[in-house]
Amino acid sequence: MTIAPTQHVPVMPAEVIHWLALRPGSTVVDCTLGGGGHTRLLAEQVGPDGLVIGIDRDPVAVERVAETLRGLPIKVVASNYSDLPEILEQLEIEAVDGILLDLGLSSDQLADPERGFSFESDGPLDLRFNTEEGKPAWKLIERLGAEDLADMIYAYGEERFSRRIARKIVEQRHANPIRTSRDLARLVRSCVPRAKGRAPIDPATRTFQALRIAVNEELKWLDVSLARLPGCLKVGGRIVAISFHSLEDRPVKTTFVQDQRLRVLTPKPLRPSDEEVQRNPRSRSAKLRAAERV
């Protein structure tokens, strides 16, 4: 299979480098490879005597980064970032100097019509990071009742029209099963008034977020990881997390404040500059938090 070049633009790269404060020879983990943009920057910081361990659940991302960043001090691993303690044990590494956790969706995943992340995709409504794990989103909305669907869309998408959307899905699927992302996006748009404002989001955004979180069990694995990752840091090592919605940011903030192994470095989350948002609109909702192992 030919893998397309990355389209992903790393978010808040200067801030990531600043707060990780890496030195030549450091060992750092990029928990979410994506297009490899952050990974390349980290490799440049640690130099030939250092090591970047790159992890991703998406095997396509792992293969792409392994090829495009060949020759740099990078070790790529296809795995869940919650498995970091086991990965380090296999690599015979006791602890690392830094951890980056970028929780955003990769532009490469959005661009792949077979993955279903784009609202206009005629490909299957899949939404899995790894298509070899779990079940696709179209199967989820096919089997859930209206009440369970509504609860999921509200809990994971914070969508106040969740019950209206769920009823419409159940009503339509009997006569015309929902199989593609475009089918679902059209249905949701018919249920949700378009928000007014300078840059309103697509009405389908929150429902797609909810389904993606559900099929990938994102919040479950984030909670597991936040309990495990601090133990992988050396004393003085830093963890930087970039979240894109409150369901991600809330547990990151709570962990950084309450985990006695960590000292908060950013009392308030950092946001991308206006210039970055203009250059990369997908960065607009990003929040960066940093903490240090004590």
Q: Would you call 28 helix, strand, or coil by DSSP?
A: strand
Comparing 196 with 168, the larger pLDDT belongs to 168
pLDDT band at 113 (very low <50, low <70, confident <90, very high): confident
Instruction: Indicate the domain borders of the chain.
Output: 13-108+220-293, 109-218
Is the dihedral angle over the CA atoms 175, 209, 11, 24 positive or is it negative? Answer: negative
pLDDT class for 2, splitting at 50, 70, 90?
Answer: low
Q: Give the tens place of pLDDT for each residue, 13-56.
A: 999 999 999 999 999 999 999 889 999 999 999 999 999 999 99
> Which is nearest to 41 in space by CA: 57, 19, 60, 56?
19
Do 285 and 158 touch, CB atoms closer than 8 A?
no
C-alpha–C-alpha distance, residues 142 and 149, integer Å: 10
DSSP state of 189: H
Question: Where does the pLDDT of residue 4 fall: very low under 50, low under 70, confident under 90, or very high at 90 and above?
Answer: low
The pTM of the full predicted model, rounded to 2 decimals, is: 0.91
- Name the CATH code of domain 13-108+220-293 (choices 3.40.50.150, 1.10.10.10, 3.40.50.1980, 3.40.50.11440): 3.40.50.150
**pLDDT (tens digit per residue) in 87-104:** 999 999 999 999 999 997
Identify each DSSP E strand in the chain by its residue range: 27-30, 51-56, 74-78, 96-102, 233-243, 262-264, 287-293
pLDDT of residue 37: 92
pLDDT-derived band of residue 115, with 50, 70 and 90 as boundaries? confident
Q: So what's the pLDDT on residue 208?
A: 94
Give the CATH number of domain 109-218: 1.10.150.170
Give the pLDDT confidence score for residue 112 in this predicted structure. Answer: 75
Least confident of 4-8, 34-38, 175-179: 4-8
Is pLDDT of 197 > 70? Answer: no
